[in-house]
């Protein structure tokens, strides 16, 4: 057994630090579908880490590629210089994107991808002779990371409230699409709610299209509780944005790389946005990396509009870092070779059944799903929102299954290599725990 480390110095992200340190949950190893905790328990990973370890943990193919790369070239500057693996990784990413989306800007995280995409949108309109297009539109209950751009277009009130005086100006929000009275217990896409996209027309009427740069949404809102887009909703957003010359950004940090059984949610829904933000599954979480995939015409407008100078004053020391580029290339090869997305697709029917079998269990208000992601919404305890889900999460962990909770919603998004028995086990444990909590 590994000794518990000194817990006093690591200021943990998104964590109630005091509570955690009183009763730490520590993981020391992982392989395939399982974590090993420091007290030597096997924990079935029901959330692919944080929606990111799509091909399962500890994949040799990725590790080997990273080792070979770091032994050959540890770092090379990305400004006015290049190295082969970054170009190869970009080509590999482009092959997974919808037709026409083939220019790849590397970042280090989802948050950076979002801020990069917003900047690309503004730069595009400037290069295109429409500098007045600077307004950005997000959505209630959207999560786009923690950069100032991301929290401004995001729609999570605690995130926004804490920094309310410092958010980007000129941001509007579409209504979210989740309404229990209309779409509870939908399997796949809810039938009700496409009309909520029409609110975009009202925002455009208020401000005029000539002031609006971009709309950003997650095709499936993950972090605020797995909100599946109603049938026809994303199509409407695409139609309206196209009509008014507004760019549409899909934040596919969660949905990218197989969660719905396709390379992207764009492909799944048959809708091509203008920019796609990526991270998480991009490297199977083996190394921090993100990317923005851009429509070729956006790249061309920015590059050709610059009169030979630096066209986009933006980038990171580690954009296209050799280690992350090697991980990306190896990950995407692995996804193809091991037919990872095909397994997600094959498992999604049984996953849906197993999730919806919890209907009628204590505390359950709603169950929703698409591909290999599901949300189980619980009735909040009076006066203690989130407390019931937190207890369910803790009990599932004690019983060997790692899930996530957000507010009173339990999220399930396992590695895409999962099999039927493991799916059954996750929902059995969750069902038993629901019966054990008040």
Q: How far is the CB of 4 from ligand PMP (least distance, A)?
A: 26
* Helix (H) or strand (E) segment spanning residue 365: strand 364-370
Q: Which residue from 216, 253, 323, 401 is in contact with ligand PMP, where contact means CB under 6 A?
A: 253
393, two tokens = 């999460």
What is the C-alpha separation between 297 and 310, in angstroms, rounded? 18
Q: Closer CB to ligand PMP, residue 249 or residue 354? A: 249
Q: How far is the CB of 176 from ligand PMP (least distance, A)?
A: 14
Backbone angles phi, psi at 168, to 5 degrees: -60, 140
What is the C-alpha separation between 394 and 431, in angstroms, rounded? 14
What is the C-alpha separation between 123 and 311, in angstroms, rounded? 9
Q: Which residue from 45, 115, 172, 218 is in contact with ligand PMP, where contact means CB under 6 A?
A: 218
Q: Closer CB to ligand PMP, residue 57 or residue 144? A: 144
Q: How far is the CB of 197 from ligand PMP (least distance, A)?
A: 19
Q: Closer CB to ligand PMP, residue 65 or residue 217? A: 217
Q: Name the closest residue to ligand PMP (Cβ).
A: 110
The answer to whether 274 and 295 are in contact (CB under 8 A) is yes
- E strand spans, 200-274: 212-217, 247-251
Question: Is residue 251 involved in binding ligand PMP (CB under 6 A)?
Answer: yes
Strands 212-217 and 135-139, sheet pairing: parallel
Question: Is residue 254 involved in binding ligand PMP (CB under 6 A)?
Answer: yes
Secondary structure tally for the chain: helices H, strands E: 16, 15
Helix (H, G, I), strand (E, B) or coil at 289: coil
Which of 216, 237, 206 has its CA nearest to residue 139? Answer: 216
What is the C-alpha separation between 409 and 390, in angstroms, rounded? 9
Q: How many CB atoms lie within 10 A of CB 79?
A: 9
Helix (H, G, I), strand (E, B) or coil at 229: coil
Question: Is residue 55 involved in binding ligand PMP (CB under 6 A)?
Answer: no
Q: Please report, as residue ranges, which positions from 121 to 150 form the binding site for ligand PMP (by CB under 6 A).
A: 143-145
Number of residues interacting with ligand PMP: please give it, by CB under 6 A: 14
Q: Which stretch binds ligand PMP (CB under 6 A): 67-75, 104-112, 256-264, 423-431?
A: 104-112
What is the C-alpha separation between 31 and 28, in angstroms, rounded? 11
Q: Which residue from 56, 110, 230, 273 is in contact with ligand PMP, where contact means CB under 6 A?
A: 110
Q: Which residue from 223, 262, 406, 413 is in contact with ligand PMP, where contact means CB under 6 A?
A: 223
b/e map 248-280, b = 16+ CB within 10 Å: bbbbbbbbbbbbbbbbbbbbbbebbbbbbbbbb
Q: Which residue from 114, 118, 291, 370 is in contact with ligand PMP, where contact means CB under 6 A?
A: 114
Binding string, residues 256-295; x marks residues near ligand PMP by CB under 6 A: -----------------------x----------------
Question: Is residue 152 involved in binding ligand PMP (CB under 6 A)?
Answer: no
Q: How far is the CB of 142 from ligand PMP (least distance, A)?
A: 8
Q: Which stretch binds ligand PMP (CB under 6 A): 224-232, 249-257, 303-311, 388-396?
A: 249-257
Q: Please report, as residue ranges, which positions from 304 to 343 form the binding site for ligand PMP (by CB under 6 A).
A: none
| Interacting residues toward ligand PMP by CB under 6 A | 109-111, 114, 143-145, 218, 222-223, 251, 253-254, 279
């Amino acid at each position: 057994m590994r000794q518990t480390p000194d817990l006093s110095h690591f200021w943990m992200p998104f964590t109630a630090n005091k509570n955690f340190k009183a009763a730490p949950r520590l993981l020391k190893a992982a392989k395939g579908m399982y974590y090993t905790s420091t007290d030597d328990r096997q924990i079935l990973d029901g959330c692919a880490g944080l929606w990111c370890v799509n091909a399962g943990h500890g994949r040799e193919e990725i590790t080997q590629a990273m080792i070979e790369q770091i032994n050959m070239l540890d770092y090379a500057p990305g400004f006015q210089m290049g190295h082969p693996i970054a170009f190869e990784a970009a080509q590999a990413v482009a092959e997974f994107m919808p037709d026409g989306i083939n220019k790849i800007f590397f970042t280090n995280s989802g948050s950076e991808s979002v801020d990069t995409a917003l900047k690309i949108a503004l730069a595009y309109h400037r290069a295109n002779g429409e500098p007045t297009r600077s307004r950005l539109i997000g959505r209630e209950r959207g999560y786009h990371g923690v950069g100032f751009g991301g929290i401004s277009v995001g729609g999570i009130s605690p995130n926004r409230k804490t920094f309310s005086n410092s958010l980007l100006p000129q941001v509007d929000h579409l209504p979210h699409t989740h309404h229990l009275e209309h779409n509870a217990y939908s399997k796949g896409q809810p039938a009700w709610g496409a009309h909520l996209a029409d609110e975009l027309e009202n925002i455009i009427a208020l401000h005029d299209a000539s002031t609006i740069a971009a709309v950003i949404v997650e095709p499936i809102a993950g972090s605020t509780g797995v909100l599946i887009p109603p049938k026809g909703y994303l199509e409407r957003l695409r139609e309206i944005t196209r009509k008014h010359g507004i760019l549409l950004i899909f934040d596919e940090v969660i949905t990218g790389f197989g969660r719905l059984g396709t390379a992207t949610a764009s492909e799944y829904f048959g809708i091509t946005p203008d920019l796609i933000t990526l991270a998480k599954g991009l490297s199977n979480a083996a190394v921090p990396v993100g990317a923005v995939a851009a429509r070729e015409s956006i790249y061309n407008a920015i590059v050709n509009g610059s009169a030979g100078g630096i066209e986009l004053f933006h980038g990171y020391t580690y954009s296209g870092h050799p280690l992350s580029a090697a991980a990306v290339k190896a990950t995407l090869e692995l996804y193809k070779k091991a037919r990872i997305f095909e397994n997600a697709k094959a498992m999604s029917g049984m996953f849906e059944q197993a999730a919806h079998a919890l209907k009628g269990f204590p505390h359950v208000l709603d169950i929703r799903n698409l591909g290999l992601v599901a949300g189980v919404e619980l009735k909040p305890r009076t006066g203690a929102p989130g407390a019931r889900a937190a207890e369910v999460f803790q009990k599932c962990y004690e019983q060997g299954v790692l899930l996530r909770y957000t507010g009173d919603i339990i999220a399930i998004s396992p590695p895409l290599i999962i099999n039927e028995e493991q799916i059954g086990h996750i929902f059995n444990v969750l069902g038993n725990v629901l019966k054990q909590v008040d």
